[in-house]
Amino acid sequence: MTLTQPSETRRGPVARPRGPRRTRGGRGAARAAGLLAALLLLAVVVVLSIAVGAKQLPLGTVWPGLTDPASAQYTVVHEMRLPRTLLGLTAGLALGLAGGVMQALTRNPLADPGLLGINAGASAAVVSAIAFLGVGAYSGYVWFAFAGAAAVSVLLYTVGGGRGATPARLALAGAALNAALLSYVNAVMLIDAASLDRMRFWTVGSLASARLDVVAQLAPFVAAGTALALALARPLNAMALGDDSATALGARPGRARAGAVVAVTLLVGAATAACGPIVFVGLIVPHLVRSLTGPDLRWLLPYCAVLAPVLLLGADVLGRVLGRPGELQVGIVTAVLGGPLFLHFVRRRRVARA
Amino acid sequence: MSRTPAAEHPHGKRNDMGRTAPPSRLRGEGLTLAYDQRTIAEDLTVAIPDDSFTVIVGPNACGKSTLLRALARMLRPRAGRVLLDGAELHSRPARQVARTLGLLPQSSTAPDGITVADLVARGRYPHQGLLRQWSRLDERAVRASMEATGVAALADRYVDELSGGQRQRVWIAMAIAQQTPLLLLDEPTTYLDIQHQIDVLDLCAQLHEEQGRTLVAVLHDLNHAARYATHLIALRDGRVVAQGPPGEIVTADLVHEVFGLRCQVIPDPETGTPLVVPAARRRAAV
């Protein structure tokens, strides 16, 4: 039985994540080093996020501002920059991980909290709360947003077929829910001018109204969602080969799918509740990461968790610089920045095939 | 649980007569198999002889893939039970079953941008856990299965760049890396050209002979089945028409009964196994 050496099947010039031969261990080491570099990058962005704003802080004063109550910067850092930065970290991590899990779950490279209607569910709940229940306080929105995201996730899972859900059905159900819910949100906002005004800022996605107590409220949900998502990396890896192969390998696709929906709800619900629907972070970060790590979710998900906050905080800092003396909302910056970046990736890689 | 030979082949008219039933780790007893409303088989009983290369044949929609899916626990029987080592398949822990029983499904999807080595490594899933990560044992199993299937040279290539025949070898390598004594293959030669079909079947025969695995395959081509199988199960309308070594059971009458095809059965000039030669159009009318 001779095996012909393949040479004819290579398709066009395609950018590939890795160079020539490397041993398995070497590749693991490279991935670990990359993760470390990503963490360093995150640290840099965090410092910038604390330093940059309407009142510019010299980089040297960031540390004293954080730790020394006597420092002149202490109030600015603790009242404004720190909550905002922590919220960006938490929300970014949540959205990036959720995007990675959703793309794996639906085997659809376009899956992201925005496109599957989970953001829209949160928006619909918030707009209902403002227009019909008269909820005015920011801290009140949070729980409605969470409930809305959870309701849509459950609906998505049920309509998508429950334990027998197929990736295609999940994606279709998500798209339909998204369209319906967004129409509802727009209708309510058109009818009720007052709620339109209040909703406006929330619906574009912003870190500006960050408060430490909100971050603290949401942190447990994000922590639970993160733990669940990372624990699902292996089963989702097996499910990437098809449900039959996954079952043959000893994974349980039905259980893993339910777990993934719970993880996504926790992560997206928390992030959306805190800063409104921020699009593109959950879509583009997993794509970018896939070109670095390959499709192995045991690496892809941790990378997403680190690089998504880099993108979100980076966009937030950029919004503060570009919008001076005011600022651009982070949701706008990520979309404006993310669109062209995404197009670039589509051109460079065959991302359309999950 | 009943292990009496009499209960084993209720439909087997031409089974291995007189012989005592060979030992069997994997068996289905009184299976009723159905998809939603459509019943494929009722009261179907089969036993896969240990150390055999069993091939299931039959016309389209006879239930051969359904039977294989039930044996591989992809499909839960409506009635009856599938026994692996005497215990009901569906009641055993998934991971534990996956260390004994492997399946190569009819169609699988490879994630975009996965390398051959990484895909084969995913076969180690049931041997790993949150606390038991990649080990030297896994490494060795992956390398050995790539060598056994002749894809070691492709280790760092991307699966989506490979030809259909190479890709099928890689999937077989993944199934082998799972290191299960029993391996089920659902139409492993479909979509391959004749050279790669033989290539894959030779590989299966080699795995059966050299590694002592029990293989169960669903095949469309009766001549391939007759050449490679050590044990043949012929299904029609969800029941076993005959089972046994191909040399004993493949006759013109059986082919007519199972496939409704007039033919001659002659010895294969290469191997001496039965070779089915369909009747020409003129004679078929007789």
Digits of tens for pLDDT over chain B (286 positions)? 344 444 444 443 344 444 567 889 999 999 999 988 889 999 999 999 999 999 999 999 899 999 999 999 999 999 999 999 999 998 899 999 999 999 999 888 888 889 999 999 999 999 987 666 678 889 999 999 999 899 999 999 999 899 988 999 999 999 999 999 999 999 999 888 899 899 999 999 999 999 889 999 999 999 999 999 999 999 999 999 999 999 999 999 999 999 999 999 999 999 999 999 999 877 555 4
Q: Please report residues of B whose CB lies closer than 8 A to that of A245.
A: 103, 105, 108
Question: Using CB atoms, which residue from B73, B108, B114 is nearest to A295?
Answer: B114
> How many contacts does A have with B, using Cβ atoms within 8 A?
109
More confident residue, A59 or B189: B189
Three-state SS at A54: coil
Decide if pLDDT at A114 tops 90: no
A250 to B130: CB separation less than 8 angstroms, yes or no: no
> Is B156 in contact with B117 (CB distance < 8 Å)?
yes
What are the backbone angles phi and psi of residue B159, rounded to the nearest 5°?
Answer: -60, -35
Question: Using CB atoms, which residue from B74, B157, B175 is nearest to A247?
Answer: B74
B156 to A353: CB separation less than 8 angstroms, yes or no: no
Q: Please report residues of B whose CB lies closer than 8 A to that of A6.
A: 154, 157, 161-163, 166
> Is A297 in contact with A241 (CB distance < 8 Å)?
no
A253-275 vs A118-132: helix axis angle to the nearest 10?
Answer: 40
Question: Using CB atoms, which residue from B74, B111, B160 is nearest to A240?
Answer: B111
Closest CA to B219 of B51, B58, B48: B58
Domains of chain A: 77-348 (1.10.3470.10)
Closest CA to B246 of B266, B229, B271: B229
- In a mutagenesis test of the A interface, which of B99, B108, B133 is the best target, namely the one with the most A β-carbons within 10 Å? B108
Q: What is the residue whose two structure tokens read 């999950």?
A: A354
A249 to B123: CB separation less than 8 angstroms, yes or no: yes
A9 to B161: CB separation less than 8 angstroms, yes or no: yes
B122 to A241: CB separation less than 8 angstroms, yes or no: yes
Q: How far is B97 from chain A (nearest CA, A)?
A: 7
Residue B233: beta bridge partners? B56, B243
Which runs of consecutive H residues, i.e. helices, occur in A192-252?
193-204, 212-231, 233-239, 243-248
Question: Using CB atoms, which residue from A24, A237, A247 is nearest to B139?
Answer: A24
Q: How far is A255 from chain B (nearest CA, A)?
A: 12
State the burial class of residue B94 (Cβ atoms within 10 Å of its Cβ: 0-12, 13-18, 19+).
middle
Q: How far is A92 from chain B (nearest CA, A)?
A: 25
Q: Please report residues of B whose CB lies closer than 8 A to that of A100.
A: none
What are the backbone angles phi and psi of residue A9, rounded to the nearest 5°?
Answer: -95, -5
B111 to A6: CB separation less than 8 angstroms, yes or no: no
State the burial class of residue A159 (Cβ atoms within 10 Å of its Cβ: 0-12, 13-18, 19+).
middle
Three-state SS at A226: helix
Which of A101-105, A143-147, A231-235 has the highest average model confidence (pLDDT)?
A231-235
Lowest mean pLDDT: which of A22-31, A175-184, A306-315?
A22-31
B residues 30-89 closer than 8 Å to A (CB): 72-74
User: How high is the pLDDT of residue A105?
Assistant: 85
Decide if pLDDT at A154 tops 50: yes
Question: Using CB atoms, which residue from B108, B113, B199 is nearest to A245?
Answer: B108
A248 to B157: CB separation less than 8 angstroms, yes or no: no
Which residues have CB under 8 Å from A143's CB, separation 6+? A273
Q: How far is B79 from chain A (nearest CA, A)?
A: 21
Three-state SS at A300: helix
User: How high is the pLDDT of residue B283?
Assistant: 57
> Is A308 in contact with A112 (CB distance < 8 Å)?
no
Q: What is the residue whose two structure tokens read 């790590």?
A: A293
- In a mutagenesis test of the B interface, which of A24, A245, A297 is the best target, namely the one with the most B β-carbons within 10 Å? A245
Q: Please report residues of A whose CB lies closer than 8 A to that of B105.
A: 242, 244-245, 248
Grade residue A250 by pLDDT with cuts at 50, 70 and 90. very high
Q: Are strands B87-88 and B101-104 parallel, antiparallel or unpaired?
A: unpaired
B residues 217-236 closer than 8 Å to A (CB): none
User: How high is the pLDDT of residue B19?
Assistant: 53
B residues 151-190 closer than 8 Å to A (CB): 151, 153-154, 156-158, 160-163, 166, 169, 175, 178
B151 to A3: CB separation less than 8 angstroms, yes or no: yes
Grade residue A270 by pLDDT with cuts at 50, 70 and 90. confident
Three-state SS at B163: coil
The rounded mean pLDDT for chain A is: 81
How many helices and strands, by DSSP H and E, does chain B display?
10, 12
Task: Say what the pTM is.
Answer: 0.82
CA of A21: which chain B residue's CA is closest?
B156
B112 to A245: CB separation less than 8 angstroms, yes or no: no
CA of A352: which chain B residue's CA is closest?
B112
Helix then strand then coil, in percent of chain A rounded to 5, is 75, 0, 25
What are the backbone angles phi and psi of residue B184, rounded to the nearest 5°?
Answer: -105, 135
User: How high is the pLDDT of residue A308?
Assistant: 94
A1 to B122: CB separation less than 8 angstroms, yes or no: no
> Is A328 in contact with A322 (CB distance < 8 Å)?
yes
How far apart are alpha carbons B286 and B282 in whole angstroms? 8
